[in-house]
Structures are given as C-alpha cells and as structure tokens.
Amino acid sequence: MAPGITTDNTKMTFVPSRNDEPPTLYQGLNETELQAKTQKFLLNYGTKFNKDVICGSKGLYVYTVSGHKVLDWTSGQMSCLLGHGHPEIVKVIADHAASLDHLFSGMVSPPVISLGERLSSLLPPGLDKAFFLSTGGESNEAAIKMAKVYTGKFEIVGLGASWHGVTAQALGTQYHFGRKGQGPLMPGMLMLPAPNSYRSIFRRPDGSYDWEAEMEYGWNMVDMQSCGSLAAVIVECIQSSAGMHVLPPGYLAALKRHCEKRGMLLIVDEAQTGVGRCGDIMAITHENVVPDILTLSKTLGNGLPLSAVVTSAEIERVCIERDYCFYTTHVNDPLPAAVGDKVLEIVVRDQLVHHSREMGVILHVALNKLKEKYACIGDVRGRGLMAGVEIVESRETKAPAIALGKAIGDRAYELGVWANLSSHPSFGGTFRIAPPITITKQQLLSGLKVLEKAFATTPGTMPL
C-alpha cells in the first residue's frame, strides 16, 4: 500500500508519514560563519532575516544548523500544503527533472494538460480553462490584464488590507504595504475599505459589525473617484497578510453584485485559501460564488513556483479577439505543472479537504480557549487550517501589542513552534497560523500545548 493511505471496506483515510528524522543534506555547518556570510553577500529585499540558518525540512518540521527542530505552522511561506519533502511530490520532481522539465513556451505537454483538466473538474462551471505561471503576483498581474483587455476599461478596485504581489498592477491593488518609495503607481487603482470585524468603525446599534454599510460607503467613494472605466475588483476571501481577516458571510456575493451592476469582472485571489486549506476545496466554494477569474498559487505547487489563472471560455474568446498576451519564459512549464497535478490528486484521494476541516475545528476551539486564559489575545479568527491570533495591549482599547507578540513568538520558536507574527504596524501584530493540511491531531495538539506554554512563560500576557 502506498505511504499515506490506509483503507477499510468503505473509504480511504489519510495516515501521515511517521518519519520525522532530520535530513542530512547540510548537517555539520558552522552557523556563526553562515550568519556572517548572510550579512556580507545577501541583499535585503524588504525583510530582516531570521537569525537561525535552516539546513533541512521534513514533513511538518524545519531544522536549523544548530540542531533545533521546529514545527512549521506557516507551511513555509504558506505554501507547503502537504508538508515538506512529501515522497510522492519528491518522486514527481525527480522524474520530470530527468525526463520532462522545461519547454518552449508555445509547446504543450501531458502534465500541463492533465493539470488543466483536473483543476477545472474541481471548480464550478464558468471556471473552465487555465494557464500556469510561477508566482501569485504573476498570476494576479495576468488576471488584471485579462480583465482590462476583456472589458476595455482600466480601473481596478482592491481592498485596503489585501496582498496581491509586488509587480506593477498587483502592487497597485494593495494599500497597506509596499507602495512607497517608487514614484507613481499604475493609474486607475481604487480602494474599498478592508473588512475588519474586530476594528471597523461601522457598527449597528447593538455593536455588531455592519459590513453592508461599510461596503456601500466604499462603493460610493469608488464611484466618485472613478473616471467611468471600472474594469474589475480583486479580492482575497481571507486577507492573510493583514492578519487573517475573513470576509463576512455574504460579502463576496454582494461584491459580485456590485461588479455586475457596473459591468466589472470579479477576480478572486486564492493564493493561500485554495486547495483545501480552509476546509473547502476553494474558499469560493464555501461562499458559493463563482468569480469571473480565479487565481491560484502557493498551495498549488506545495512550495514550488506554480500559479494559475482560471476563467471561462467566453472571456478567453474575447481576449483572443483583442490580442491578449501574457507570454513568459515559464508559462505552462511541465515540471511544476506535474507537481500541481499530483498535489490535487493527493488532496482529493486522501480526503484532505475533510481532514483540514476537522483539524480546523480543533485548532479554533483550542485558540479560543487560549483567549479565555490570556487578556493579551484580542481576537481569534480564520477558517479551517488558517487562523489569526491578534495580540493587544488592552481588550478595551485594542491597541496592538507588537513587542509582546514578538516576545511570545520568539518563546514559541524557542520551544519548538514557528507561528509567523505579522509584526509590521500595518499588519496589526497577529500570529498567522497555517500548518500543512496533512497535520495529525497529535501534532496539532502538541503544537497547541507548546503555544500555550509560550503564553504562560512570557511576561506581560495578562493571564485571566
């Protein structure tokens, strides 16, 4: 029987690998020397490097040169959906590196065809045809250009706390970080208020979040600013980089109605939410909303550079007539496509969407219990195996406690769990938790126990 699968008379069930022995590829190195070379030779690209040098990754763990084993609760950069070094993914990479790796961009290959077929079969009608690129920013760039070509208009609306990439058009649609220091951005980029049930000033008389009023206010602002060339809205169903803010129920459907009213397309960016992470095969499935264009990345490649743009045959037809072009060196490359095809096969075969939903329930119940114990936790949010834990100075003022959050995160890392803290002030000081969806109940509970110990042993967490 293949690793990872067990059967009874009725169904297949996921069983994870128990082999968590550290890999030996880069053992025996001098960490102090490596840190010095990091400072000397590596160019800063907008973030400080963590002190530890990582020499290996296996399953749900990463290993430092100094020998520290850490449970990876961010799946690398929210990408290793099936964990590090999954044996079937490793085999696909090795086979295609040896036999079918990279081709002329106008050539097509079996893994690309298979991935297109498998992906479209998992999506609702209207998302019928795909092509494949390398990064999430690239796929969003391609989607925005497609919307402009299709509609003949150029204004793009984004949400105030989204992250869509750092290329020109993708960057133009994100407003909380990365926009400064480069002069004018793309023209025609407009903003809706970021849905934030914890902090929004839009409240009903009973104090509950009034996202409908906030959305109407935002669209009024957009309509006043628009020069009459509104082409598309781009949105994440969970705004991860902003602190794991989930769109309110009904928000995505209302957004699509606003788009239809104005002759705009709806683009949904599922870089982090797609392929089972949130307890549904796609986040749009949870909302039962079909966008005009869907973009995928991160989780689709399990850590390899792979992204997708998916749309309808009708949008493709019009774009062909209008000479749409997004021709890149690595478009539809066979090796990453084969990996994406295998990722989708494993997720469906091993019932990992259901597994993610079940583990997500355990995760969120435990995090909310932790909130009941520590007053520094202002909010817990998310869905499935995506969770945000916001650290505050006071529940009354909701002032972010970024230094405290960093201290808790450092302590958790010391104890063996990596949970990324969005420490930039615009991100609000929120732990972003997104482990591989292959995580077992035992591994999840073990990580939660470590996280609770981090809160218990860090000064200033305000035990209740």
**Count of domains observed in the chain:** 2
Q: Is 21 in the same domain as 104?
A: no
Q: How far apart are CA 430 and CA 428, in angstroms?
A: 6
Name, in order, each residue with C-beta under 8 angstroms of 73's C-beta and a sequence gap of 6 or more: 417, 418, 419, 420, 433, 434, 435, 447
Q: Is 117 in the same domain as 211?
A: yes
- Cα 265 to Cα 119, 194, 351, distances in angstroms: 21, 19, 32
Across 39-48, 334-343, 433-442, least confident range? 39-48
CA angle 326, 329, 335 (to 5 degrees): 110
Long-range CB pairs of 256-262, under 8 A, 24+ apart, other chains included: 256/289, 256/291, 258/215, 258/219, 258/233, 259/232, 259/233, 259/292, 262/230
Whole-number pLDDT of residue 3:
33
Mean of per-residue pLDDT scores for the chain: 92
Q: How far apart are CA 62 and CA 393, in angstroms?
A: 31
Long-range CB pairs of 451-455, under 8 A, 24+ apart, other chains included: 451/370, 451/412, 451/417, 451/419, 452/370, 452/373, 453/415, 454/408, 454/409, 454/411, 454/412, 454/415, 454/417, 455/370, 455/373, 455/374, 455/376, 455/408
Alpha helix segments (H runs only) across 226-272: 251-262
Alpha helix segments (H runs only) across 198-240: 211-225
Whole-number pLDDT of residue 19:
53
Whole-number pLDDT of residue 49:
86
* Structural domain of 402: 5-85+351-456
More confident residue, 456 or 19: 456
**Segment 212-237 mean pLDDT:** 97
Domain boundary residue, one of 349, 374, 400: 349
pLDDT tens per residue across span 283-295: 999 999 999 999 9
Q: Is 361 in the same domain as 445?
A: yes
pLDDT exceeds 60 at position 416: yes
pLDDT exceeds 50 at position 9: no
Do residues 265 and 293 lie in contact, with contact meaning Cβ atoms separated by under 8 Å? yes
Q: Of all residues in the chain, what percent carry a pLDDT higher than 90?
A: 81
pLDDT tens per residue across span 81-104: 999 999 999 999 999 999 999 999
pLDDT tens per residue across span 350-359: 999 999 999 9
Q: How far apart are CA 171 and CA 269, in angstroms?
A: 13
Do residues 322 and 296 lie in contact, with contact meaning Cβ atoms separated by under 8 Å? no
Structure tokens at 264: 């705009």
Flag whether 461 is in a domain: no
Whole-number pLDDT of residue 423:
59
Do residues 385 and 435 lie in contact, with contact meaning Cβ atoms separated by under 8 Å? yes
- Which neighbouring-strand residues pair with 233? 157, 266
pLDDT exceeds 50 at position 12: no
Q: Is 298 in the same domain as 284?
A: yes
Q: How far apart are CA 93 and CA 100, in angstroms?
A: 10
Flag whether 59 is in a domain: yes
Flag whether 54 is in a domain: yes
Do residues 165 and 141 lie in contact, with contact meaning Cβ atoms separated by under 8 Å? yes
Q: What CATH number does the domain containing 419 carry?
A: 3.90.1150.10
With cut-offs at 50, 70 and 90, classify the pLDDT of residue 20.
Answer: low
Do residues 289 and 311 lie in contact, with contact meaning Cβ atoms separated by under 8 Å? no
Flag whether 285 is in a domain: yes
DSSP-derived secondary structure letter, 300 = G
Q: Is 319 in the same domain as 202?
A: yes
Among 22-31, 32-41, 174-183, 251-260, name the most confident range.
Answer: 251-260
CA angle 30, 35, 38 (to 5 degrees): 125
Flag whether 463 is in a domain: no
Q: Is 216 in the same domain as 164?
A: yes
Q: Could you tell me the strand order of the sheet in which 54-58 lies? A: 54-58, 61-64, 69-72, 417-418
Flag whether 462 is in a domain: no
Whole-number pLDDT of residue 150:
98
Q: Is 254 in the same domain as 123?
A: yes
Whole-number pLDDT of residue 11:
38
Q: Is 272 in the same domain as 357?
A: no
Structure tokens at 75: 């799946």
Catalytically active residues are 163, 236, 269, 272, 298, 432
Domain boundary residue, one of 333, 349, 365: 349
Flag whether 246 is in a domain: yes
Whole-number pLDDT of residue 29:
87
With cut-offs at 50, 70 and 90, classify the pLDDT of residue 16.
Answer: very low
Q: How far apart are CA 182 and CA 178, in angstroms?
A: 9
Do residues 381 and 459 lie in contact, with contact meaning Cβ atoms separated by under 8 Å? no
Q: Is 12 in the same domain as 133?
A: no
Flag whether 214 is in a domain: yes
Q: Is 285 in the same domain as 144?
A: yes
**SS3 of 363-418:** HHHHHHHHHHHECCEEEEEEECCEEEEEEECCCCCCCECHHHHHHHHHHHHHHCEE
More confident residue, 48 or 463: 463
Q: Is 118 in the same domain as 253?
A: yes
Domain boundary residue, one of 349, 373, 403: 349
**Of residues 133, 139, 121, 128, the one with CA closest to residue 315:** 128
pLDDT tens per residue across span 152-198: 999 999 999 899 988 889 998 988 788 888 888 899 999 999 999 99
Q: How far apart are CA 227 and CA 260, in angstroms?
A: 18
Please state the pTM of the whole predicted model: 0.93
Pairing of strands 386-391, 238-239: unpaired
Q: Is 330 in the same domain as 227?
A: yes
pLDDT exceeds 50 at position 15: no
Q: What CATH number does the domain containing 308 carry?
A: 3.40.640.10
pLDDT tens per residue across span 230-268: 999 999 999 988 889 999 999 999 999 999 999 999 999
Whole-number pLDDT of residue 428:
67
